[in-house]
Amino acid sequence: MQINGTDSITSTTDAGGNFYYIYTSPIFVLFPILDKQPYIEQSHRVKEKHLAKYPGYKYRPKPKPKKPKPQTQSLSASVGLPGIVGVSPQFITIPIDMAACK
């Protein structure tokens, strides 16, 4: 079994990254070590080449920007009820004068 490693790398990136990896990884695990050896050697060569090109490189992901928290209004300001602060509207009971509704 002989596959050119650069061809397989470009074909996986063209197909959307991990598409081939999902299917080939379980199969690759079952290969005998002699069939895996060319791929292991190639990975070492690529790693050494990268270390020579970028000495002292360490992966440092950039932190995600923090989203600003939405400003919450007090309930008295949004509903117009004086003296009620920090209470959700579903927990406020307002007595209804049944005579005024008729």
Residue 44 lies in a domain: yes
- 62 located within any domain: yes
**88 domain-assigned:** no
For 58, the domain range is 1-72
Q: Does the residue 9 lie in any domain? A: yes
Q: Look at residue 96 and tell me if it is in a domain.
A: no
DSSP string, the chain: ----HHHHHHHHHHTTSSHHHHHHHHHHHHS-HHHHHHHHHHHHHHHHHHHHHSTT----PPPPPPPPPPPPPPHHHHH--TT--S--GGG------HHHH-
Q: What is the pLDDT of residues 8-23, one digit of tens each?
A: 544 445 555 677 788 8
What are the tens digits of pLDDT across the range 31-70?
Answer: 999 999 999 999 999 999 999 999 999 999 999 988 888 7
The reply to whether 33 falls in a domain is yes
Count the domains in the chain.
Answer: 1
